[in-house]
Structure 1
Amino acid sequence: MKAVVMNRPGDRDVMAYVAWPDPQPGPGEVLVTVAAAGVNFMDLGVRQGKAWTETPDPKVMGVEGAGTVRAVGAGVTEFAPGDRVAWVYAPGSYAEQVVIPAASVVPVPSGIDDETAASVMMQGLTASHFATDFYPVQPGDVALVHAAAGGLGLLLTQIIKLRGGTVIGRVSSAEKAVVARAAGADHVIIDTAGQFAQQVRALTGGIGVAVVYDGSGPVTFQGSLDALRASGTFCWYGPVLGAPEAIEIMSLPRSIKLGYAVFSDHIPTPALLRQHAAQLFDWIARGQLKVQATTAYPLKEAAQALADIESRKTTGKLLLVPAGR
């Protein structure tokens, strides 16, 4: 089969599209033919040597996707060849085939296509965690969503709206503002320098927002603090873009709550993984959650896809599609 591997940590030149041994499922595993693989900031962190350091190079990249079960290992009874499945964390997904623990895949309903399923696993489950678990948005809450035109931001905006919240989206360009508004953002701020807090407070009558979802790196950290209301919640994520300086806890203002949100805490068991994935698919089937237009690259162009997501100039979800799909 063909796969995309990284030969060492570094820039895009460390990635290669190569022939790779066909995987075989072991006990409790399924072999899946990949229809589409998701491109994520996590993959960028892996390429840079910030994650998966315990796995020797060369290694196949990618963690997310959707496809069709090709074979099952001993003991697997809940899936059979021909079943359509999706997954959120399966190392080696930038490939034509991948072996995954059966406990880590979810069934894909007939009304959901492969590209849509691959687009909502990581970002959709992350958005679900942020808005229903880490800070359960209540009707009337105002939320500030950074990178509101990105794949995660677009889904997060819609889930907040489903729960009765108001969204202030922050984007970096007028073009992205159009995309964020189309997803339901009530207000959109165009900003690239981290100078948004005053506008947020003006939009909230000086009160501030109930929650900030910030994965934009250190440049926005102080502004996000300043944008929060008393006892507001700061949801920090996205370590690939860097962390703020050390925080003196007694300097945190207005009794705010600050935390680092990790989506895996939302799906610690196979039952919860399938429950939350099923909710996403149900929202999509009902037309309540819309996946914005995806950008699909041939699998062999994975290095370009990662370069594009790193540029922060893309909107929506980026996917890799193996040849012949």
Structure 2
Amino acid sequence: MTRAIQICQHGGPEELQLVDMPVGAPGPGEVRIRHHAIGLNFIDVYHRTGLYPLKMPAGIGMEAAGVIEAVGEGVTHLRPGDRAAYASNPPGSYCEARVMPAMNVCRLPDAIDFETGAAMMLKGLTAQYLLLKTRPVEGLQPGDHVLFHAAAGGVGLIACQWARALGLQLIATAGSAEKCQLALDNGAAHAINYRSEDFAARVKEITEGRGVKVVYDSVGKDTWDKSLDCLRPLGLMASFGNASGPVPPFAPGILGAKGSLYVTRQTLFSHITSRASTQAMADALFDVVASGQVKIHIAQRYPLEQVQQAHRDLEARKTTGSTILTLA
């Protein structure tokens, strides 16, 4: 048996209930992993609220780190006793132990502790595919400006540091002076408090009217229109989240009027559809973290029993950096 968080209907944080569940043995292509720490991400809120509907009853959570207890037939890259971490479907990481598909579970290097592993997989792999694989048609070169919304969050702080390592001039937005300073301390070239400044006007000022080559946006509805105004001709609008709500429908003709812009809606799980692609992306993340170029900032820790409060704080934008759930 394992303690796990389950929802029986979509709704608010109160739907997150602690239950006892059987674990079982792994089948072909599966592993059983006992968690040491669990990552908290905004996609968990989308699953809980029903923005991304789940079949009920449902587990919650996409990210964790722990030790492999058993492997099923056909699993060759992991063995019992291995330290491991993952960002993976299906949801269900909010638990002490689980059986799950092995494809996206990666061996965790000894140099990276369990809490860091749990805090960095989904967010770090997201930053990886954004900065290295989601690029404008003209590419990105050292010195280029990019705009990154919600830069003081878990993905954002990783992206600030990784962008600096790549030589990019990352313009960060955040909702307070403190969060802006945090982004600057982690490698952002500029930071804009969107609550007190017009971020589109500031971007044009910073770039001397040229605009940025790409906007990375996990906020959605509240930042969409002005983000398009921040792009230079042939620029790329890369949406990867909806923290303020989904982007409303828009006429494609506006993209031509604003400079023949490109738009893409990205998800991590399109990038990790094979064992090889998952491992290659994880290796890049492990290398940049082990080298010290990217540090994972765990700013909040909640016991699994306090998951409702963790969700309330995340939705209220009271958190910075990464958040983990801990197990006794």
Same-fold call, TM cutoff 0.5: yes
Alignment correspondent of 1:244: 247
- Provide the residue aligned with 2:99 in structure 1: 99
**What is the alpha-carbon distance in structure 1 between the residues aligned to residue 143 and residue 129 of structure 2?**
19
With the length of structure 2 as denominator, give the TM-score of the two structures.
Answer: 0.94
Alpha carbons of structure 1 residues 194 and 307: separation in structure 2 relative to 1, 3 Å: farther
Three-state SS of the structure 1 residue aligned to 2:103 is helix
Aligned to 1:282: 287
Say yes or no: does 1:3 pair with 2:7.
no
Q: CA deviation at 1:173?
A: 0.4
Alignment partner, residue 127 of structure 1: 127
Contact in 2 for aligned 1:157/1:167 (Cα 8 Å): yes
User: Sequence identity, in percent?
Assistant: 39
1:78 maps to: 77
RMSD over equivalenced CA pairs, Å? 1.5
2:319 counterpart residue number: 314
2:88 aligns to what? 89
User: Whole-Å Cα distance in 2 between the matches of residues 303 and 137 of structure 1?
Assistant: 40
Cα distance in 2, alignment partners of residues 218 and 49 from structure 1: 17
2:152 is paired with a residue of what secondary structure? coil
Q: Partners of 2:312 and 2:140 in 1: how far apart? A: 34
Partners of 1:29 and 1:194 in 2: CA distance: 50
Partner of 1:37: 38
Flag structure 2 segments of 5+ consecutive residues without an equivalent: none
Q: Residue in 2 aligned with 1:207?
A: 210
Contact in 2 for aligned 1:148/1:171 (Cα 8 Å):
yes
**Offset of residue 203 of structure 1:** 0.7
Instruction: Give secondary structure in 2 for the equivalent of 1:306.
Output: helix
* CA distances 1:136-190 after superposition (whole Å, capped 9, x unpaired): 5321210111111000111112222222110111110011112101111111111
The 5 A counterparts of 1:149-228 are 149-192=152-195, 195-228=198-231
Shift in Å, 1:241:
3.1
Aligned partners of 1:201, 1:216: CA distance in 2, in Å? 20
How many angstroms apart in 2 are the aligned matches of 1:6 and 1:193? 38
> Is the deviation greater in 16-25 or in 3-12?
16-25
- Return the offset for 1:46: 1.0
Residue number in structure 1 paired with 2:147:
144
Question: CA contact under 8 A between 2:119 and 2:298: conserved in structure 1?
Answer: no
Letter in 1 for 2:101: P
Task: Give, in angstroms, the shift of residue 52 of structure 1.
Answer: 4.1
Q: How many residues align?
A: 321
Structure 1: unaligned runs, 5 residues or longer: none
Contact kept in structure 1, 2:150 and 2:172, CA below 8 Å = yes
CA contact (8 A) 1:42 1:240 kept: no
8 Å Cα contact 2:108/2:117 also seen in 1 = yes
Is the CA contact (8 Å cut-off) linking 1:143 and 1:210 kept in structure 2?
yes
Q: Which amino acid aligns with 1:287?
A: G
Moved over 3 A (4+): none
Aligned residue in 1 for 2:302: 297
Q: Is the 8 A contact 2:104 2:272 kept in 1?
A: no
Confirm or deny: 8 A CA contact 1:23 1:97 kept in the other structure.
no
**In structure 2, what residue type is equivalent to 1:259?**
T
